[in-house]
Amino acid sequence: MLGQPLKFFVVFFVVVEPVSLIPLFTGLTTGATSAYKRRMALRAVSVAAAILVLFALGGASFLTLMGISLSEQPGVFGAYLAAVLLVLAIALVLMLLADPLMRVIGITGANVASRLLGVILGALAVQFVLDGLRQAFGVG
């Protein structure tokens, strides 16, 4: 039961790439006051949370309407939502600490983290496609 939510957390983490948000957030808020930066970080996470909750509640119906089927696993919806909230909390903390973190990791560190998470995301995408093909054709 812990495997699927953990897998979802990892996938969502590499999709959001909170570490890559550090230079982006720093660049967008250069010269702004600490209060403004805090307000923008909270607003960004709030908007993301609203969108994600909306899709968590109505996404399956929307995909069904579009003719896309999913293999659902009952009983883990709350765990998925917890994983989403955890990733958003990590993103919020990293945005709130963006200036000191940028001094530590720098542009190069952020780029390395972004590339590494991109490779992991690519590997996960290939695995999802292979899993879908196996399920569709009843192989394995």
Q: What is the pLDDT of residue 63?
A: 83
Using CA atoms, how far apart are residues 13 and 92, in angstroms rounded to an integer? 13
Name the percent of the chain in helix, strand, coil, to the closest 5: 85, 0, 15
Three-state DSSP class for 30?
coil
Q: What's the pTM?
A: 0.78
Using CA atoms, how far apart are residues 74 and 114, in angstroms rounded to an integer? 33
Map out the domains of the chain as residue ranges: 3-137
The residues of the chain scoring below 50 in pLDDT are: 74-75
Note whether 3 and 76 are within 8 A (CB). Answer: no
Note whether 19 and 110 are within 8 A (CB). Answer: yes
